[in-house]
Amino acid sequence: MMEGTERNNEAVRPLLGKTALVTGAGRGIGRAVALTLASQGAAVAVNYNGSEAQAREVVAQIESMGGQAQAVCCDVSDFAACGKMAEEIAARYGHVDILVNNAGVTRDNLILRMTEEEYDRVLEINLKGAFNTIRHLSRYFLKQRSGKVINITSVSGIMGNGGQANYAASKAGLIGLTKSVARELAGKGISVNAVAPGFIDTDMTGKLSDSARGKLLERIPMGHAGAAEDVARLVAFLAGAGSDYITGQVICVDGGMCM
């Protein structure tokens, strides 16, 4: 009877016993990812920088489901701070198994108007931030000879997008980072993949005008925006055992926008 119960738990909660760090997890896609991983059994470190209240709400929701979670404040562009965050999570849970690099910002502007600060800040958070967390957590992955890294890139990093030279460059760089690190760590039981969302309904995209939203929808063969949960379900698959032979891949969740 006990053996059957254990199998059922594995089927319903395939990430039971795993620990995940999700950056930028207070809202949007990061929030959906944190909740989905927790629903599948993972203990989740909910990283935030400027959205403490939202991050603590995510933690409370996970705990209300009977899961484990903690809110962790860290600016992922700060190399030393990322090191301390990794140590804190490893010390609390004894291991770290999953890293989801979701933290990201936009500073949209036409290239002729874009300031150096607008360009630098987006690259610091979106690209250097992912390097920082991978760099510090990889030593734990290497020690246990297992680990899953999922980087949230964007179709903008594949196709480019007017007014987003900084954002597209950061997301394209994240794809290169994904593939390079995947090659380095594949032989150590560590997989590294990227998920590229298209037009996803979040607080960020909710600020678009009706006209801008309409133009985007015209570019999507499926004819509608995606939900954050669409991305989260793919991340959860890549975080689990079913993806053990998948690495170095970029998978779009975009309704066909980037075919």
For 179-190, what is each residue's pLDDT tens digit? Answer: 999 999 999 999
Q: Tokens 């002729």, residue?
A: 112
Among the listed residues 93, 119, 140, 167, the single catalytic one is 167
> Which residue do the tokens 């690209």 mark?
127
Q: Does domain 18-252 correspond to CATH entry 3.40.50.720?
A: yes
Domain ranges of the chain: 18-252
SS3 label, residue 100 = strand
For all residues of the chain together, what is the average pLDDT? Answer: 94
- The model's confidence at residue 3, banded by pLDDT at 50, 70 and 90, is low
Question: What pLDDT digit, counting tens, does each position of 216-253 carry?
Answer: 899 999 999 999 999 999 999 999 999 999 999 999 99
Query: What is the C-alpha to C-alpha distance for residues 80 and 142, in angstroms, rounded to an integer?
Result: 20
Half-sphere exposure for 99 (CA within 13 Å, toward CB): 31
Instruction: Specify the long-range contacts of residues 9-13, CB closer than 8 Å, at least 24 apart.
Output: 9/41, 12/40, 13/39, 13/40, 13/41
Please give the Cα distance from 197 to 204 (Å, whole number). 13
Mean pLDDT of 121-133: 98
What span, in angstroms and rounded, lies between the C-alpha atoms of 62 and 206? Answer: 25
- Region 73-80 average pLDDT: 98
Question: Is 245 an active-site residue?
Answer: no
Percent of the chain with pLDDT over 70: 95
* Confidence band for 1, pLDDT divided at 50, 70 and 90: very low
pTM of the complete model beyond 0.75 = yes
